[in-house]
Amino acid sequence: MGLDTPLGENTSHGHYTPHGRKVSSASIFFESLPYKVIPQTGYIDYEKLKERALDFRPKILICGSSSYPREWDYRRFRQIADKCGAVLLCDMAQTSGLIVAKGAKRKGGKLQSQGDDNAQYDFKEKTNFVVFPSLQGGPHNNHIATLAIALKQVATLEYKAYMQQVKRNAQALASALLRRKCRLITGGTDNHLILWDLRPFGLTGKIYEKVCEMCHITLNKIAICGDNGAITPGGVRIAAHAATMIQHDHGKLQKASVKSLHDNKDILELRTQVETFASQFAMPGFKI
């Protein structure tokens, strides 16, 4: 059991389309059942999650996702996993930087462990064997070196200060968007992610992503609560205003809209503004 994919979960946790098509190997080889968010708020519905977990009795319960902008209640996940007899798995790929810098909650309640944890759960040897030699090749020296450098960096006080600033910047951006009457999923953020629902403006995430890319702003289209699918989703993980005019002039035909972006004077002007603004700040590895 993991969060429903259109609501922010990674497809690797398992997903079925409304027509029953199995999207990832997690759903092809295993039976998966998603849990949902409260439609009005975008927050995880823990009561419904508990009810479904006790009915479904999953072997693994997953917390953590690709795009959920709020803190996870790890204590409640631990309680639910224990109640239904599931192993609790945390997918912290998106928030690991914040967690290592103590910028996000990480621990729930402590288990009453009996003896050595590895002996109790017996996961280490089984997991290592499945990874190598069963599914993947041997270690790569370039990966080891990259991890060593990354681990050295995250152990510094400078990194901790940096990640705290990342949270403050995300919250400042969320506040600025809310002041402009933009609809954010859950109404804000507790981490580095902002999910912006573009549907009130009549926009799609696909066009918005393309406009921002052409203006040197990196974000991505994303499905949000209430979307029909991930091909033309109604949201992004963040912002620019040229898309409003583009879609108004050319409608929602995706090919026509994207093609029209390249020579649009408003986008060219916005790109120049972004370049001028961004060039005021230092970028590691580049000289201003």
- Domains in the chain: boundaries: 1-94, 97-103+131-189, 195-278
Q: How far apart are CA 65 and CA 42, in angstroms?
A: 14
Q: In CATH, which of 3.30.350.10, 1.20.120.1200, 3.40.50.300, 3.90.1150.10 is domain 195-278?
A: 3.90.1150.10
Question: What is the predicted pLDDT for the residue at 266?
Answer: 86
Question: What is the predicted pLDDT for the residue at 203?
Answer: 87
Domains 1-94 and 195-278 share a fold: no
For residues 145-163, average pLDDT:
90
Q: How far apart are CA 52 and CA 150, in angstroms?
A: 39
Question: What is the predicted pLDDT for the residue at 83?
Answer: 95
| Residue of higher predicted confidence among 10 and 69 | 69
Please state, for a pLDDT cut of 90, what percent of the chain lies above it.
28
- 271-285 pLDDT tens trace: 999 889 888 877 766
CA 267 to chain centre: 27
| Residue of higher predicted confidence among 167 and 240 | 167
Task: Kindly tell me the burial class for residue 164, based on how many C-beta atoms sit within 10 Å of its own C-beta (0-12, 13-18, 19 or more).
Answer: middle
3-state SS track over the chain: CEECHHHCCCHHHCCECCCCCECCHHHHCCCCCEECECCCCCCECHHHHHHHHHHHCCCEEEECCCCCCCCCCHHHHHHHHHHHCCEEEECCCCCHHHHHCCCCCCCCCCCCCCCCHHHHHCCHHHHHHHHHHHHCCCCCHHHHHHHHHHHHHHCCHHHHHHHHHHHHHHHHHHHHHHHCCCEEHHHCCCCCCCCEECHHHCCCHHHHHHHHHHCCCCCCEECCCCCCCCCCCCEECCCCCHHHHHHHHHCCCHHHHHHHCCCCHHHHHHHHHHHHHHCCCCCCCCCC
Question: What is the predicted pLDDT for the residue at 242?
Answer: 35
End-to-end Cα, the chain, rounded Å? 49
Q: In CATH, which of 3.30.930.10, 3.40.30.10, 3.30.200.20, 3.40.640.10 is domain 1-94?
A: 3.40.640.10
Radius of gyration (Cα) for the chain, nearest Å?
22
pLDDT at 51 over 90: yes
For residues 12-21, average pLDDT:
76
Q: How far apart are CA 233 and CA 5, in angstroms?
A: 12
Question: What is the predicted pLDDT for the residue at 9?
Answer: 72
Question: What is the predicted pLDDT for the residue at 229?
Answer: 60
For residues 169-179, average pLDDT:
93
